[in-house]
Amino acid sequence: MVLYILQTPNVICKEVIGLKNKDILVSIGMLGIFAVLLFSILYFVFQPVHSDNDGKDSDDTSVVIIKDKEKAEESDDEYADLTAKYVSYETYDAPKNSGFKSFMDYRTITNTDSKQYRLQQHYAETGEYGIRMADSRYIVAIGTYFTSDVGQYFDIILENGTVIPCILGDQKADVDTDSDNIITKHNGCMSEFIVDSDALNEDIKFHGDMSYCLKDWDSPIKTIKVYNRNIFEY
């Protein structure tokens, strides 16, 4: 009897240790199952999804409107992604031109009730080369043949392939342009950049031509792409 009592603690300890070992094994097994389940869930959640449209959302599709019903061609230049941001655009072929790009000082815009003035005072700042800019686009005036909607986005595309992203900051007066309202009669320019004259470099001031901003800008205009987006509408 005494021997049994003396042996009982040892038996109990062995049983307890055995139970602990079993609990540990069970815990390890449960952790392993949990890890496998977690890995499987993460794999299916983060696995790339392939679709028939090569990852392009339907919202990125551009509806293209071309003047004279010509078929649109996607641009290969660095600004091609711009077309994905707007619902539609119109592309106009430019007539033969010298590539001369004039400028005017933004302080000559004084009508406080005009969109031109509002654009300069509330959206624009003096940016690269002394040109006034809004939404990372150069503020430019062009003839009413293309658009007369101040604040509208457009691109000037040169014959050498350079794309100049712009916003309409003013429209050329029809009395000052040719019969098509495209080219200014007295100097032959199609585009008039709105600038801070104090910030222009001496070459531009001397020649009176914004083509001297960059070597790539020294090229005639090939096309004007006008987007159906206006800075005042968003």
If one counts every other C-beta atom within 10 angstroms of the C-beta of residue 160, the result is 13
Domain range list for the chain: 1-47, 58-233
- Residue identified by tokens 């509408």 is 233
Q: Which residues of 75-91 are buried (b: 16+ CB within 10 A; e: fewer)?
A: beeeeeebbeeeeebbb
If one counts every other C-beta atom within 10 angstroms of the C-beta of residue 156, the result is 24
Measured between alpha carbons, how far is residue 17 from residues 4, 8, 9, 14, 30 in Å?
20, 14, 12, 5, 20
Residue 76 is predicted with a pLDDT of: 43
Between 28 and 45, residue with greater pLDDT: 28
Q: Which amino acid is at 81?
A: D
Residue 60 is predicted with a pLDDT of: 35
Report yes or no: 171 and 142 within 8 Å, Cβ to Cβ: yes
Q: What is the mean pLDDT of residues 178-200?
A: 94
Q: Which amino acid is at 24?
A: I
CA distance 225 to 154: 5
**3-state DSSP of 61-106:** CCCCCCHHHCCCCCCCCCCHHHHHHCCCEEEEECCCCCCCEEEEEH
Between 100 and 128, residue with greater pLDDT: 100
Burial of 179: CB neighbours in 10 Å, binned 0-12, 13-18, 19+:
exposed
Residue 234 is predicted with a pLDDT of: 73
CA distance 11 to 181: 107
CA distance 4 to 68: 109
Q: Tens digit of pLDDT for each residue in 140-153?
A: 999 999 999 999 99
β-bridge partners, 193: 103, 140
Residue 208 has pLDDT above 80, yes or no: yes
